[in-house]
Amino acid sequence: MSTTAAQPIRRIVIAGGGTAGWMVAAGLAKCLGKQYDIRLVESEEIGTVGVGEATIPTLHFMHEILDLEEKEFIQATQATFKLGISFENWRNVGENYFHSFGRTGSSHWTAGFQHFWLEGRERGLASDYGDYCLELRAALDNRFALLPDNGINYAYHFDATRYGQYLRRFSEKLGVQRIEGKIAQVHTDAASGDITGLQLDGGALIAGDFFIDCTGMRALLIGDTLGVRYESWSHWLPCDSALAVQTTSVGEPVPYTRSIAHPWGWQWRIPLQHRVGNGVVFSSRHISDDDAKAALLANVQGEVLRPPRVIKFTPGQREAVWRQNCVAIGLSSGFLEPLESTSIHLIQKGLTRLVELFPAGGICQSDVDEYNRQARDAIEHIRDFIILHYHVTNRVDSDFWRQCRDMDVPASLKHRIRHFRDTARFTPAAGDLFAENSWVQVMMGQGITPASHHPITRQMDDRSLADFLGDIRKDVARTLMKLPRHQQFIQQFCPAPGVDPAVVPQAIINPDARLDTVTLDGGAIVYVVDDFARDPDALVAQAAAGRFERIPGHPYPGPQLPLPDAVAAELDSFFRRRLGAELRMGAALGMSARFSRVAQEAATLDPRQRICHRDDSGLAAGEMVSASVHYLFKDAQLGGTVFFRSRMSDADTRQFLHDASTLDASAFGDRYGIPPGYMTDSNRYFEVIGRVPAKWNRAIFYDGAIFHSGDIRWAAGRAGYEAGLGRLTVNAFFKSRRP
């Protein structure tokens, strides 16, 4: 660390988006945004790991900080509720247990509830340990409701991509500036070693005073630039690979995550409102990628929405997560597999720790040291908890499990296991994420039976102990009976609007679709993608189920229907990733998309509707728009898209367009001699420079500043336009800054 005088911080730059980047952006903007300029750099071309779809109850604290409305968040992310994790085949094949988020029983100041339960078991007075926990019983009975006075402890399953998008919208409203681009070079000061700016591949330099590395496992700032070494924990955590896949929902979503152990690792199953997240975490030394993929696909339910993708990782932690003027948060700081859903918590904790220790007068070494100490303590406590699941097991059916059972574990974990096995005691350390009940559930669930328990339990006679245990169990049972089904509660409280998973798959765009081009006269290019949607019939069905409406004053000659958010988001992502550079788009400023149907009688068209048009009306200086049309009709005679250029001077063109917007139909016709009807061919004002014919499931993308029009032959094909959905298209508009 430099010994020069601390420099005040004014500009904060977050490198990378995704869940980590936008959680950090949202938290900093909410807590400190009035004092600092906050910018986030991300590229649509760079994907995110995106498997962190299960959370733990600490996320509530984050949402309290941001003052988020729970129902809105749930609907935006297609979330369901989570009461814990079902561990299947971990202790041994065919043996299951449950790690709940709730409180089990009642504790005494001298001893936790497990001591009283163990005494009750010895006397034949206690039933299953889970009978004394509401969250556990509710989860296994598929029930849930919000209860007064925090009467039920819960977390969420949600769509991680949607969560990032939700926090992005939140952050941008608070003034965070998003900058599109890939980081090509990180600049540092030769004297101090501090980072000074991020050079983007387009040439722009994003300067800053303080940098947050959210670049994921690439760790471009903390690792590549500042050279902070990564400490591997592979000798304790043997899995180094993961596969993720999404499937359609089958049956009601359960309020818990399923973790199913296999001979080479484990599998997750996470139900959302609109789909199910699935995946496997495995050791590549014990199974190949192809065999793991086959095992995953053989153990999922529902239709697979997109091909599985392999994620390689090394469990571990950076030797320091704050170095110089850079803090690493998220996967750039370290990685722990998602066994106990701690990834998003570690992002949240990194953020809140940074806010607590934010260098008000400039960076000082004591803040850096304290941040690094707390970060290491926090992740090491979680590391030990995860190792516990692998190490304490009765499985001997594979080399993988035998190695896990026999391995030497960290001294801190070794003491906790021995202490609990000997005495049933668990002593939490300062900063422990998982409380006593979590450790007790997992240690007993994995097969530890304590040799003794606290003698205070023997102060109670049989009747007193039976009443104590019975009252807790009856209270749990009474409350459980009042809870609705999980799905019923979601439908009543927070049903997510939009896509019906039985109609529209989330992975709408065909990953194998090929990009072709059509060059217009003059050199402009239209990008053409055939076989664009994986299931175009599902999109048509979605449109048929919706309610089309004409928008008063809108020039489109027919009714429209908003495109579901999930479909629009994937379309936007495809465009930014595949075509943003080709169409020379700058930083994204938003998009809109809709289903559209041409349905207006040609003789009734107003002046705007009987001429070609551009999509750039209403843009501010320095802004631009690109557009797309996705043809969802099979009769090619209903027409594709025709492109024009003006034969007039720029001034005359502007006057022509102004008159089309202000004159009535009769006056416009008299002045320009253009009768009512759809414009499909050259006239004395515009000439055709190219056409793209319609084709079922074809999409085209083009610069919205090019004059264009639908190639509508109303007189010849009126019946086709009016029958059913007629000329159904998806029209989308992508707004950005000019680079």
**Bridge partners (DSSP) listed for residue 312:** 241
Helix 462-482 to helix 113-123 angle (10° resolution) is 110
Q: Which helix (H) or strand (E) holds 183?
A: strand 183-188
- Provide the 8-state DSSP code for 514: P
The number of C-alpha atoms within 13 Å of 128 and in the hemisphere containing its C-beta is: 10
**Bridge partners (DSSP) listed for residue 354:** none
Rounded CA gap, 404 and 201, in Å? 45
In this structure, the dihedral spanned by the alpha carbons of residues 347, 351, 354 and 360, taken in order and rounded to 10 degrees, is: 160
Distances (CA, A) of 322 to 37, 227, 451, 475, 716: 20, 12, 44, 48, 70
* Cα three-residue angle 566-571-575, rounded to 5 degrees: 150
The DSSP result for 482-510, as a single string, is HPPBHHHHHHHH-PPPS--TTTS-S--B-
Catalytic residue among 30, 34, 82, 414: 82
The DSSP result for 291-315, as a single string, is HHHHHHHHT--S-B-S--EEEE---
**Bridge partners (DSSP) listed for residue 733:** 592, 627
Q: Which two tokens stand for residue 497?
A: 């609007």
Rounded CA gap, 506 and 274, in Å? 8
C-alpha closest to that of 239 among 205, 201, 276, 286 = 286
For the question of residue 182 being annotated catalytic, the response is no
- Provide the 8-state DSSP code for 54: B
Q: Which helix (H) or strand (E) holds 135?
A: helix 134-140
Sheet containing 686-692: which strands, arranged edge to edge? 686-692, 641-646, 707-710
**Where does residue 715 rank: exposed (0-12), middle (13-18), buried (19+ CB within 10 A)?**
exposed
Rounded CA gap, 332 and 344, in Å? 13
Beta-strand ranges (E) seen in 220-275 are: 230-232, 241-247, 257-262, 265-271
- In contact, 697 and 631? CB cutoff 8 Å: yes
**Where does residue 598 rank: exposed (0-12), middle (13-18), buried (19+ CB within 10 A)?**
buried
Distances (CA, A) of 366 to 4, 358, 370: 14, 12, 6
- Provide the 8-state DSSP code for 119: H
CA torsion through residues 727, 647, 519, 613, sign:
negative
- In contact, 205 and 199? CB cutoff 8 Å: yes
| φ and ψ at residue 656, rounded to 5 degrees | -60, -45
Q: Which two tokens stand for residue 601?
A: 């009688």
- In contact, 510 and 533? CB cutoff 8 Å: yes
At position 353, the amino acid (one-letter code) is R
Q: Which two tokens stand for residue 221?
A: 């700032």
Rounded CA gap, 625 and 671, in Å? 31
Rounded CA gap, 327 and 221, in Å? 9
* 289-304 residues labelled b (16+ CB within 10 A) or e (exposed): eeebbebbbeebeeeb
Catalytic residues: 82
